[in-house]
């Protein structure tokens, strides 16, 4: 089994794209989004003919929401998923950051008072920015200095009280969750674990239990419970598993993905093809090449060029009013067909941003291919 090719297809980076932004978020279950612009491009690459302004509009309208959930960090999620995802992961997240709250002197009573002040300020369908919520807390006698403010806001998110509101210019706002999301029946824990595991392995398989545990923030035992529950789902949605090189992988057995050896993608920071796995060996350069100086974070969690699902370099972009300059930094020389594939990927980014593209090449064989 070619794990890299199958993952491209399961993640909808190859094969049939999804119809729109909400379909992408729903398929993946959650999309890491602390880098908002990067996350919108991650959605765009999995969507048919998407443009950035469309993703922005869906976000502002509340068809896609953004909150702290899972590991935790910000994720895009659907309104229909947010309540059970928070119920599943919220208590574990709060337990994991309890020591940090003690350092910040955020006692339970302080958190309760802060949540009351925040929800009162947002009542009546109001939306406020982080800075405005800081002023709300200060007026309530709660110091929002340093990291206290983001942690108090995150507490309100984890307790299913607030969520992302529409942007105000370039600023993000918060709103009451009840104003943005209808109420929904609760799932018991085994139901939630099974739903999460099924969504994860269907959209990211082949993957291991340790990958699900890493991505979700759950324990390995809970990941195993989820996989067992997901395996009981009736065909044709039932998952399969296979032992590959001594490791057990779970995946959706339907469909036979075609080769994607020359499919090129300019993946953004924290794309789900990288951050969605603890074991990232399948995405490594075919010859094991890697130069951390080329990558923004010194790792594949930054902007990377993948061809056939394998890392071949890094990229950086600079936006202007009319265009975007994309610099590709190569780990090795590309074939003519690979060069053409990268050029198409850059053109797709230009279409997504509705800007003309200037593609610049740096690295082995790159000097004579500047565009």
pLDDT tens profile 331-370: 999 999 999 999 999 999 999 999 999 999 998 866 534 4
CA distances 17 to 77, 291, 298, 360, Å, are 19, 32, 30, 27
Q: Is residue 129 predicted with pLDDT exceeding 50?
A: yes
- Cα–Cα distance for residue pair 310/34, rounded to 1 Å: 24
Greatest CA separation found in the chain? Answer: 64
Domain boundaries along the sequence of the chain? 284-369
Whether the model clears a pTM of 0.85, i.e. scores above it, the answer is yes
pLDDT at 320: 85
Give SS3 for 93. helix
Helices (H), 232-328: 272-275
Which of 29-43, 115-129, 224-238, 244-258 has the weakest average pLDDT? Answer: 224-238
Residues present in the chain in total: 371
CATH of domain 284-369: 3.30.300
The pLDDT tens digits for 45-70 are 999 888 999 999 999 999 999 999 99
Average pLDDT, the chain: 94
Of 171-175, 194-198, 253-257, the poorest mean pLDDT is in 253-257
Helical (H) or strand (E) element with 76: strand 73-77
CA distance 241 to 252: 9
Residue showing tokens 């297809």? 9
- Output the pLDDT for position 49: 86
Mean pLDDT is lowest, of 98-102, 113-117, 316-320, for 316-320
CA distance 34 to 74: 5
């Amino acid at each position: 089994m070619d794990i890299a090719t199958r993952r491209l297809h399961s993640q909808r980076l190859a094969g049939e794209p999804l119809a729109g932004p909400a379909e992408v978020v729903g398929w993946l279950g959650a999309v890491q989004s602390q880098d908002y612009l990067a996350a919108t491009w991650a959605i765009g690459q999995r969507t048919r003919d998407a443009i950035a302004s469309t993703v922005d509009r869906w976000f502002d309208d509340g068809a896609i929401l953004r909150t702290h959930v899972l590991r935790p960090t910000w994720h895009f999620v659907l309104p229909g998923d947010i309540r059970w995802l928070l119920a599943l992961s919220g208590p574990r997240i709060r337990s994991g950051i309890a020591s940090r709250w003690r350092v910040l002197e955020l006692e339970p009573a302080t958190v309760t008072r802060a949540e009351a002040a925040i929800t009162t300020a947002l009542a009546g369908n109001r939306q406020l920015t982080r800075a405005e919520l800081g002023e709300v807390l200060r007026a309530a006698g709660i110091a929002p200095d340093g990291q206290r403010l983001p942690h108090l806001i995150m507490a309100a998110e984890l307790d299913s009280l607030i969520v992302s509101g529409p942007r105000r210019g370039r600023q993000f706002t918060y709103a009451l969750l009840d104003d943005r999301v209808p109420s929904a029946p609760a799932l018991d824990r085994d139901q939630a674990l099974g739903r999460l595991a099924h969504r994860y392995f269907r959209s990211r398989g082949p993957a291991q239990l340790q990958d699900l545990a890493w991505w979700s923030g759950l324990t390995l035992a809970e990941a195993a419970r989820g996989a067992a529950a997901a395996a009981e789902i009736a065909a044709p949605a039932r998952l399969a598993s296979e032992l590959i090189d001594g490791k057990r992988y779970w995946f959706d057995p339907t469909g036979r993905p075609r080769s994607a050896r020359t499919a090129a993608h300019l993946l953004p920071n924290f794309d789900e093809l990288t951050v969605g796995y603890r074991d990232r060996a399948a995405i490594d350069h075919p010859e094991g090449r890697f130069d951390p100086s080329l990558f923004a974070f010194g790792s594949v969690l930054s902007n990377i060029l993948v061809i056939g699902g394998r890392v071949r370099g890094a990229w950086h972009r600079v936006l202007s009013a009319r265009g975007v300059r994309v610099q590709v930094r190569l780990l090795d020389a590309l074939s003519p067909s690979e060069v053409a594939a990268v050029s198409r990927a850059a053109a797709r980014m230009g279409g997504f941003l509705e800007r003309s593209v200037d593609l610049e090449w740096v690295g082995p064989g790159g000097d004579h291919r500047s565009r």
